[in-house]
Amino acid sequence: METTENPTTGVKTPQPNNYVSIDEWIGRMRLTFDNAMTTGIFEPLLTVGYTEEKITSLKGRLAQLENLQQVRTKMYAGQYAESEAFDKMCTQNYVIYKMHRDLAKIHFKDNTLARASLKLDQPSKRTYSGWYQDSTNFYAQLAANPELLSKAREIGLAADVVAERKQALVDLQSLKESQRKETAEAQAATVARDKAFDELFPLFKDHVNYAKVLLANDQALEALGITVKAK
């Protein structure tokens, strides 16, 4: 059975009608397979091949799916935490760089060399890659030019401040790489989870459909999570 998933909520939607979360499907499967060998259910389904070995195999595959779902949840929790930390650090670094840049634009308004090397006459960038590259250059140019750094001290950009900002940008990029790794791992966990689900779901549906036929209107169906129609 094909399904679609909301990438934000992780909800699987069986087509064409209702959507059901993966966790809810797992719960339904667990109920069905746990009760599959109950007296009155096992015997009729045994006639269509649902041996103890087959049911045990289905329960084993379900356990694997549950584990993959738990791994995926853990991976996305880590990815969300990394993203939150990165966003916070990114904002902090951008705000500080923008303040230093704005101060430098005033302080070096008549210094052509400073304005060129610090890119003060270029439009301010807001994309991460854009402002990160410009800010890295900004502090690197100050650190590499003693005369420029000496003048920058007058606006609070002493050598220790410049060194601190350079390290902060290195730390920010390291966190960005960690975030990318967490995202890739979470996506890989989703692929593995989806594969296990897509392989098990048709087997689960077959079991349910056989039960509906062989136990038609039998109250035992409720033990499999199947609603029995009122007579």
pTM for this entry = 0.73
**What pairs with residue 6 in β-bridges?**
11
Model confidence at 226, pLDDT cuts 50, 70, 90, reads confident
* Token reading at 199: 């392989």
126 is written with which tokens?
A: 């807001």
Inter-residue contact 37 to 52 (CB < 8 Å): yes
Model confidence pLDDT, tens digit, residues 102-149? 999 999 999 999 999 999 999 989 899 999 999 999 999 999 999 999
Q: In this predicted model, what pLDDT tens digit does every residue of 177-219 receive, in sequence order?
A: 999 999 999 999 999 999 999 999 999 999 999 999 999 888 8
Residue 14, SS3 per DSSP: strand
- pLDDT computed for residue 219 by the predictor: 87
* Candidate ranges 3-12, 167-176, 209-218; pick with highest mean pLDDT: 167-176
Cα 136 to Cα 45, 66, 110, 121, 171, distances in angstroms: 68, 45, 23, 16, 12
Measured distance CA(139)–CA(154) in Å, rounded: 15
Nearest alpha-carbon partner for 93 in 10, 28, 176:
176
pLDDT, residue 229, reads: 65
Please tell me the predicted confidence (pLDDT) of residue 137: 97
| pLDDT value of residue 104 | 97
8-state DSSP, 21: -
Q: Which residue has the higher pLDDT, 4 or 38?
A: 38
Residue 7 in tokens: 């990438």
Going by pLDDT thresholds of 50, 70 and 90, the confidence category of residue 227 is confident
